[in-house]
């Protein structure tokens, strides 16, 4: 095992759990318009939804976090996979590049499919991955979809990170054209603009996870590992609600997932109202698992699911897909963002 890589994986977990999030959440800039009258039965509402080719029993999924850091990450992924299976939600693994390069690290990823035989699982590689590496990642965990993550700023801040990104778009397009599962291009906490999404559409991508600013801040995480940090980039990126609204400007056959700073089911429902078809939670679930254990994690996921159903009741939405059509208002920085981007 590459000990320096394993240490970096554990550093990511430690720093992600330890660093403080911004007090201000851009999800608080969105108000869903309350509907006082409803003719729905809460007990008959169901959370099942389709995201393109993917059929999900819930719009919630555990987003990419970890793997490849030895026994501790194996235990984390095992518990996350068990919880996903028990609560009926999807799950993405962290970047599998380490396991592709070192087969001794594969068990910390393979445990996810072992513990969740029937669930929807996303594989994960970096945009530097070759077609063969992407196929290996998919086969490693019998994945239903493949995430390709974009992390340019994280790599630039990382002391040992990549500096050449000239072939990334070509790699993404080649993989999307040939593999036989949906390819989801995702950010890692810096959000996506309309311009980026248009480029990805041109490369044949139809699934995007905006993964906006507001959750785990990898600029801060990587800066904690530097002797001289690039602290000026700690607030770089597009917050998740703005990213979703950027995607809403596109009149394309595009399936958008929302993640980044989603604190609860109401935030998740707001992401659906803004145009996402499903939403991912990562650091907040990991924190519950570490602090409150497996039972606490199950309780939290079920609580989030109930919150989403409550929003469905309060907006008279019979299906998850109907939330996209709910009226809402924008305030603060999010409203200013949209007004300026209309220019």
Per-residue pLDDT, 19: 55
Residue 24: which residues within 8 A CB-CB, separation 6 or more?
Answer: none
Q: Taking residues 90-115, report their average pLDDT.
A: 95
Number of neighbours of residue 226 by Cβ within 10 angstroms? 12
Correct CATH for 3-341 of 3.20.20.70, 3.40.50.300, 3.40.50.150, 3.40.50.1970: 3.20.20.70
pLDDT given at position 223? 82
To the nearest whole number, what is the mean pLDDT of the chain?
92
**pLDDT for residue 28 is more than 80:** yes
Residues 6+ apart with CB under 8 A from 90: 54, 56, 58, 60, 61, 62, 84, 119, 120, 121, 122, 278
Measure the CA–CA gap between 130 and 291, rounded to whole angstroms: 38
Lowest mean pLDDT among 55-59, 155-159, 326-330: 155-159
Q: What is the pLDDT of residues 62-71, one digit of tens each?
A: 999 887 777 8
Reduce the DSSP state of residue 123 to 3 states and report it.
strand
Quickly state the pLDDT bin for 3 (edges 50, 70, 90): very low
Range 311-316 average pLDDT: 98
The mean per-residue pLDDT over the stretch 32-57 comes to: 96
In this model, does residue 182 exceed pLDDT 70? yes
The arithmetic mean of pLDDT across residues 253-267, rounded, is 96
pLDDT at 243 over 90: yes
pLDDT tens, position by position, 186-208: 999 999 999 999 999 999 999 99
What integer pLDDT is reported at residue 217 of this predicted model?
80
Q: Does residue 18 surpass a pLDDT of 90? A: no
């Amino acid at each position: 095992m590459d000990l320096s890589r394993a240490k970096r994986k554990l550093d990511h977990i430690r720093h992600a759990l330890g660093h403080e999030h911004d007090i201000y959440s851009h999800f608080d800039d969105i108000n869903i318009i309350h509907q006082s009258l409803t003719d729905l039965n809460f007990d008959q509402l169901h959370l099942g939804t389709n995201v393109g080719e993917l059929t999900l029993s819930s719009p919630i999924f555990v987003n990419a976090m970890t793997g490849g850091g030895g026994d501790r990450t194996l235990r984390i992924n095992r518990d996350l996979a068990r919880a996903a299976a028990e609560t009926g939600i999807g799950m993405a693994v962290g970047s599998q590049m380490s396991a592709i390069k070192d087969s001794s690290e594969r068990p910390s990823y393979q445990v996810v499919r072992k513990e969740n035989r029937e669930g929807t699982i996303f594989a994960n590689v970096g945009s530097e991955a070759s077609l063969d590496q992407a196929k290996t990642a998919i086969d490693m965990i019998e994945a239903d979809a493949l995430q390709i993550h974009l992390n340019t700023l994280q790599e630039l801040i990382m002391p040992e990170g990549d500096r050449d990104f000239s072939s990334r778009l070509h790699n993404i397009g080649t993989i999307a054209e040939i593999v036989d599962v949906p390819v989801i291009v995702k950010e890692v906490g810096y959000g996506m603009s309309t311009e980026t999404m248009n480029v990805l559409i041109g490369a044949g991508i139809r699934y995007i996870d905006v993964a906006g600013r507001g959750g785990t801040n990898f600029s801060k995480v990587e800066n904690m590992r530097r002797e001289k940090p690039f602290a000026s980039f700690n607030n770089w990126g597009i917050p998740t609600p703005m990213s979703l609204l950027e995607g809403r400007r596109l009149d394309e056959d595009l399936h958008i997932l929302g993640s980044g700073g989603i604190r609860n089911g109401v935030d998740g429902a707001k992401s659906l109202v803004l145009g996402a078809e499903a939403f991912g939670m990562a650091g907040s679930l990991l924190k519950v698992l570490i602090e409150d254990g497996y039972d606490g994690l199950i309780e939290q996921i079920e609580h989030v699911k109930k919150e989403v159903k409550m929003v469905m009741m309060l907006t008279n939405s019979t299906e998850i897909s109907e939330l996209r059509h709910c009226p809402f208002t924008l305030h603060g920085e999010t409203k200013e963002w949209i007004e300026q981007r209309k220019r």
